[in-house]
Structure 1
């Protein structure tokens, strides 16, 4: 949509001029929308016969039931007066003083009642009366194009936008700065904030959130009277009408806008579609060539390393086992040189490793182990695929156990599948593959986190506190589930950690929420 450039300094305008300028921008918006969607008007009202995907002819009535826009665009689309108005919400007639009442009931805007307000204003006896009518409903004197497009109610179709309302909005600009500092990337906020929401519990969460905001207002003088805060009031209705918020989130293709803008800047501003398509083709071709060269170099490097090792049998078994298979949900990466269990015990400081490994192979793998050294190859990375408990989609974690990863030691944490109702968190210590005659086994040395009896000075509702074991334990790689995030507890005994079960919906559900 075109945004008219402001020819003057906004600070030089009085209130009347500001309203007039905003109204002008709304009129431009809806005139353009009328041109874009004009061809849908008659089919939306009277229908149009067309062959559907199942080859059956039907009369179709097109419309726009969902509009994915940010806060400013939603006000332009509904021709409302935005944040500073007495009634700023594009979906309902909530007064500005009631924006913090997240569970209140407010009159909804509809095409019928807003069109009536507009008609009353244009037939008013004078400009003052017309302005009073419009101001009492937070409207501009703009004829909304979507009133005339059936199945496209502008107020009902405006949708809750997680990116701008939550990640860049309430969380990123208002709450997170109180805790730490500001970011500028909505995806960063999304990664921090991601937690599962289910409709049967969401209302209670909203009540708790409202109470927390009231506490923050009283103790930190934070004002929550803004439209994005009030938008939560509509979220339950949005989900019931339109499904999960992912269906109408503006995050989709948000990054592509910048890419398209960069391509546009390389054109001559005439017949840009074909030029931008060619630019995109060239970029894809260059990326494909670069990826092919990189893959070749990587494969050539690995082949050279394997030839230098000189252990053909171990090498072939190693290469076969590192490839992903339908039966394995894990894959090992960053291999080191071939070694033995005895060398591992002395070089890695794993007391009793050789003896414990032999006992573990007999009990867990049901294989005979001779008296000679056990051939081992260490790996410094493991890839874990898992199925989300939230939506059953496939996820993947890349976990490191490397004493020198970018000049820092890095030993990631993982969840282990046990007989308990909840998975057990542990810290990776060593990931390795044992070679026994014609078979190989992927095994992981970990330090288990056990529930702690410690009492933190600041207690968090539902916080899970753990003590990290000092001794290692051997587990099969197939027992690993996915990565975990353990947060070191301050002002407590060393080796105590909080489990972060809010990194995503899957983790939230795995721990009984």
Structure 2
């Protein structure tokens, strides 16, 4: 491989390592950064990624310290999470002591005891600090308070935790999987991507990166929106603003807010600026002293916050992208490439503005920049235009889909009349339920703001509208469905937790396919109300480059951090007096931080203790490649009573799938049992229950070759044969040949057709590869669609024809 810094000559050790294990389909190659001093390795699937198992378990008998005992910590945690006030806490403790006196080791007897325990715990963790920032506006000095937990002090808390120590990753890696012909690179964690590699290349010989991931977004605390907060969350990448005013919108005030934002962020970052330049010597758990160089790996934020971070002027400026200089009228054109922004160019424009306001303003406006010094310019390897990342939630689920494609689709449904809207809603209500997929009874006349619900609607929309927005009834609506199908492909490629060079190229190609379909929509729909020339449309130009540079999109998604807004809002509503709320919320946040820290230690150590109780043989069994079948298959609760085969056949006499139930089963057992060295039985014990799920199974054709088909599970049961229990199912194969339709190709749908019910078969549950979500084609009885957007595994199986 050749990095951006030029080819790296192989070393004798790396050559030896590469030749020590034969290349093959089941091998992985890890190429470490040259400065790590580590040789390239080639490992089989069974050993790849299991380094963490080499560490001896760390057992701490009292992980709840500095609380007096585990029960004290768990009570304090519960009281905090439940937002109990002083009176509630005292009453609960009195009740506990009345009921359980002498039966539990609990030392708390008042709210004061609980508070004292929190204080003892807080004294051992890095506290928040208050900073006052002043900025001049209209000849007046304005003051703003900023509260920060010093980043480097927080980092030292992590580095000093013995439970986290084994999990830190320091050196950049390039990972490859053999595909049968050559090694293909893949990406997932940040240290497997290019940006980490390039940062480590820029450091001194003994330096290693210490990466910070920052998320920032304002949130409304009060239901009226008058009280706001601006939380900033930090995450260690080495491990798996002032309120608005009536003047808001005026140029001078907007610039003031940007000044305050960057001055405030400076207070957060100032403890790492020095170590980003000089490094910090730290004795790591493996006995090696490493020079850690802090840097900002990535910034996770919505577009509005990205504009603040990059100090650009937003959607209406000449160049609205925080990463490149795409003109404002070319945001829809992802086939073209424009120069990437640079801090040096921005700095020179700001310096010019300081010397000559007119000339400087012209230069700034041409690039869409604001005349403010960017805090990230002070931190090496933290170029804001490289760290800003495209957010999956806001760009796609809320943006392209929620605010644009979905809105257009509902407009088409309205134009077709109330019967069309009702048909769509009825088909949503009839949509097959699936775990972790929201179910909707209607969608056409409801507005959603929840990104998760919008995402789940998008996964179901093609199957519930394909017989409504038809080519005959609504040509423009049909073109829109083609556009949505392409959008869903991009969304699924972005959703991958592990990327290969092939999936990234496929994702980039799909971005151009989407653009083509969008242009068709423009041509066929003169009544279109949406403007597709917007910044989030342009984000697809950069998102796959972000993945190459920083790893899978989950690393820079705002979705996990958006959930942190909920506790802040609850604290404000339930546990503050609505006065001086910053101090009160920070105290509550500090308690949550401590509680999560201690809880994670307790759970980790409980798990380690459990491991130590296992025998050596059990540990070895758990370390095999093949997961026990029962551990990966969940078929629901079995019936508690035994029943006879004859009774099953009689109870289902009206269902053709159960015709000749006993005869079919006998034929199956006569073939299956001898082939698995199980003697034919004298008697059979049986119990089972009906299922309505579908699955992808591996079976054999008449020539004995493996084939993969989808089936509907009709009846799942257990048979006890010669003291062996068999997990079996009566299934209806979905391998009849359907009549292919033009819309299947246009909307990229996988159509399946069920066999006649009388042609049901028996299979062993061990032949099941995975569950499958099938929904009926509501206008063609017996036809079904495979919902391949339900997860990335099924999506890739369809794309690679692995079914």
TM-score range, shorter chain: 0.7 to 0.9
The answer to whether the aligner puts 1:162 opposite 2:397 as a matched pair is no
Other-structure match for 2:242: 4
**Pairwise CA RMSD of aligned residues?**
2.9
Once the two structures are superposed, residues 318-362 of structure 1 have per-residue CA deviations (whole angstroms, 9 ceiling, x without a partner) of xxxxxxx83533244222232110000000222111222222222
1:488: Cα distance to partner? 1.9
Judge which range, 360-369 or 226-235, deviates more.
360-369
Give 1:2-401 correspondences, 5 Å limit. Answer: 2=230, 3-8=241-246, 18-124=250-356, 126=357, 128-180=358-410, 181=444, 182-191=447-456, 192=459, 193=488, 195-196=492-493, 198-220=503-525, 221=528, 222-268=530-576, 269=581, 270=583, 272-276=585-589, 326-328=628-630, 329-336=632-639, 337-349=641-653, 350-366=658-674, 367=678, 374-379=684-689, 401=691
Deviation string, structure 1 residues 216-275 (Cα, Å, up to 9, x no partner): 233342321111111111123222221222221112233233134323544444354554
Call closer, same or farther: CA 1:421–1:130 in 2, change over 3 Å: farther
Residues 1:105 and 1:489: Cα distance change in structure 2 (over 3 Å): same
Question: In 2 relative to 1, CA 120–476 (structure 1 residues): closer, same or farther, beyond 3 Å?
Answer: same
C-alpha distance in 2 between matches for 1:453 and 1:426: 15
Shift of 1:490: 4.3
1:93 alignment partner, SS class: coil
Corresponding residue SS for 1:432:
strand
**Greater Cα shift, 348-357 or 273-282:** 273-282
Task: Report how far residue 208 of structure 1 moved.
Answer: 0.4
Structure 1 residues 459, 478: closer, same or farther in 2, change over 3 A? closer
CA–CA distance in structure 1, aligned partners of residues 593 and 733 of structure 2:
49
Q: Is the 8 A contact 1:452 1:465 kept in 2?
A: no
Render the CA deviation track for 1:55-82: whole Å, top value 9, x for unaligned: 2223322110211111111111111111
Kindly indicate whether residue 788 of structure 2 is the aligned counterpart of residue 501 of structure 1.
Answer: yes
Whether the 8 Å contact between 2:685 and 2:721 is mirrored in structure 1 is yes
Q: Which moved more, 1:78-87 or 1:257-266?
A: 257-266
Q: Secondary structure at the match of 1:66?
A: strand
Q: Cα distance 1:371–1:436, how it changes in 2: closer, same or farther (>3 A)? A: closer
Task: Identify if the C-alpha distance between structure 1 residues 343 and 259 changes in structure 2 by more than 3 Å, giving closer, same or farther.
Answer: same
Give the Cα separation in 1 of the matches to 2:522 and 2:567.
40
1:436 to 713, 721, 725: 721
Which residue of structure 1 lines up, in the alignment, with residue 797 of structure 2? 510
Other structure's SS at 2:745 match: coil
C-alpha distance in 2 between matches for 1:60 and 1:279: 28
Could you say which residue in structure 1 is the equivalent of 2:754? 468
Alpha-carbon deviation of 1:505?
Answer: 2.1
CA apart distance, 1:105: 1.5
After superposition, the Cα gap between the structure-2 partners of 1:332 and 1:457, relative to the gap in structure 1 and judged at 3 Å, is closer
Matched with 2:608 is none
Query: SS at the partner of 1:143?
Result: coil
Say if 1:49 and 1:278 are closer, same or farther in 2 by CA, change over 3 A.
closer
Partner of 2:614: none
Instruction: Return 5+ residue gaps in structure 1 as ranges.
Output: 11-16, 286-324, 381-400, 402-410
**Alpha-carbon distance in 1 for matches of 2:659, 2:596:** 54
Distance verdict in 2 for CA 1:279–1:506, change over 3 Å: closer
Normalising by structure 2, report the TM-score. 0.51
Matched, 1:488 2:776: yes
Q: Cα distance, 1:189 vs. partner?
A: 3.9
Shift of 1:278: 5.0
Distance 1:133 1:276, change over 3 A: closer
Range moving further from structure 2, 31-40 or 189-198? 189-198
SS in 1 for 2:329: helix
- Note the alpha carbon deviations across 1:70-107, whole angstroms, 9 max, x for none: 11111111111111222111111111101011121111
Q: After the TM superposition, which of the residue ranges 258-267 and 466-475 deviates more from structure 2?
A: 258-267
Cα distance in 2 between the residues matched to 1:19 and 1:338: 78
Q: Is the deviation greater in 158-167 or in 481-490?
A: 481-490
Q: Which moved more, 1:81-90 or 1:450-459?
A: 450-459
Q: Distance in 1 between matches of 2:707 and 2:515?
A: 31
Partners in 2 of 1:122 and 1:277 — Cα distance? Answer: 41
TM-score where L is the length of structure 1: 0.78
Instruction: Evaluate the alpha carbon distance shift between residue 354 and residue 369 of structure 1 in structure 2; reply closer, same or farther with a 3 A threshold.
Output: farther
User: How far apart are 1:282 and its partner, in Å?
Assistant: 9.1
State whether structure 2 residue 745 is matched by structure 1 residue 448. Answer: no
2:596, 2:287 → 1: CA distance? 38
Aligned to 2:192: none
Aligned to 1:478: 766
Q: Give the secondary structure class of the aligned counterpart of 1:55.
A: coil
Alpha carbons of structure 1 residues 244 and 278: separation in structure 2 relative to 1, 3 Å: closer
2: distance between equivalents of 1:74 and 1:167?
A: 18
**Per-residue deviation at 1:129?**
4.1
In 2, the alpha carbon distance for the partners of 1:60 and 1:26 equals 31
Q: Name the structure 2 match of 1:385.
A: none
Q: Distance in 1 between matches of 2:329 and 2:648?
A: 68
